[in-house]
Amino acid sequence: MKEAMLYTSLEDKNVKCALCAHRCLMDPIEKKPLFHVLPGSLSYSVATVGCNFKCSFCQNADISQMPSDMKRITGHDVAPATLVEDALENRCRSIAYTYTEPTIYFEYAYDTAVLAEKNDLLNVFVSNGYMTGECLDTIGSTLHAANVDLKSFRDEYYKSLCKARLQPVLDTLKKMKEMGIWIEVTTLLIPGENDSEQELRDIARFLADLGSEIPWHISRFYPQYRYLSSGPTPSKTVQKARDIGFQEGLRFVYTGNLPGDEGEKTVCPSCGKTVIDRSGYRIFGINLSQGSCSFCGETIEGIFDPTSL
């Protein structure tokens, strides 16, 4: 293993590549967030401008909405082989198609993913889940993991705030599960929009029925883009949602955008001990042995050994 020559260390263990004009970021895999995929490893992050949603609260609106808001498209031409080479040079163990919707640049993501897998890199999507079944069939087993936003369990929320619909997202989650893609789900709680106890229970029950091992990330909202009428989500609302997730049978429920919260740690569902000690994007200790709790032997689902794929 040789250290890459051209990179800059950033805060929170991020690394900025300086090998090509794209200057991609190597993020901790936890930032996606994917808490059960090679914890503590670096993921090479790739994105283009554009999105098939129009979320009024988008935190990446400067790139996701650039074509519609600014009537322009910017970026650099970078060959898939260059991305894979850069990821390997910077000791990444996965490539994350993220920040904007991977479906928008699917052909590019697909070509990169095929090369990445041949070089023993995992491929992960951070997605709104609005792709078709044909799209998932095409990428198939080349896609190893995904974090999917389940923004609400109400169709009217998707229509009014995202200019989309709920059912295709639910269909995507079901199909990914059937395909054996590792799934983690994120819900951003916006006060007064999707934070009622009933809706949170509906989300948790859906996920638990789909697979109780699916990690649910519940994130605190901060005013963004065009949605400025609400303040940040109260911390107690996020923590209550986490409690609801456990009550409805989910094994792993996490809090997001609450730095230092205990809800960032992975706790064994059997013995209650911490198996991944995590704060923010930092890992302080892993108590796993071949995917099982080191204390009691309980299986902790996820991708902890890529050779098992």
Q: Give the model's pLDDT for residue 75.
A: 85
pTM: 0.92
Q: Which residue numbers in the chain have pLDDT < 70?
A: 1-8, 10-25, 306-309
Q: Give the model's pLDDT for residue 155.
A: 98
CA dihedral (208, 210, 212, 217) in degrees, to 10, reads -70
Q: Per residue in 97-121, pLDDT tens?
A: 999 999 999 999 999 999 999 999 9
Q: What are 65's two structure tokens?
A: 């909405």
| Amino acid making up residue 306 | P
Per DSSP, the residues of 85-143 read HHHHHTT-SEEEE-SS-GGGGHHHHHHHHHHHHHTT-EEEEEE-S---HHHHHHHGGG-
Q: Give the model's pLDDT for residue 308.
A: 56
Q: Give the model's pLDDT for residue 17.
A: 55
Strand ranges, E, within 3-93 = 7-9, 15-17, 25-28, 42-46
Query: Are 162 and 120 contacting, i.e. CB atoms less than 8 angstroms apart?
Result: no
CA pair distance 271, 290, nearest whole angstrom: 17
Does residue 176 sit in helix, strand or coil? Answer: helix
60, 73, 161, 162, 232 from 226: Cα distances, Å: 12, 21, 10, 12, 14
Does residue 162 sit in helix, strand or coil? Answer: helix
Q: Give the model's pLDDT for residue 25.
A: 61
Q: Give the model's pLDDT for residue 21.
A: 47
CA pair distance 16, 92, nearest whole angstrom: 12
| Amino acid making up residue 161 | L
Q: Give the model's pLDDT for residue 76.
A: 85
Q: Give the model's pLDDT for residue 8.
A: 65
Q: Per residue in 24-75, pLDDT tens?
A: 568 999 999 999 999 999 999 999 999 999 999 999 999 999 999 999 888 8
Q: What are 131's two structure tokens?
A: 């792709």
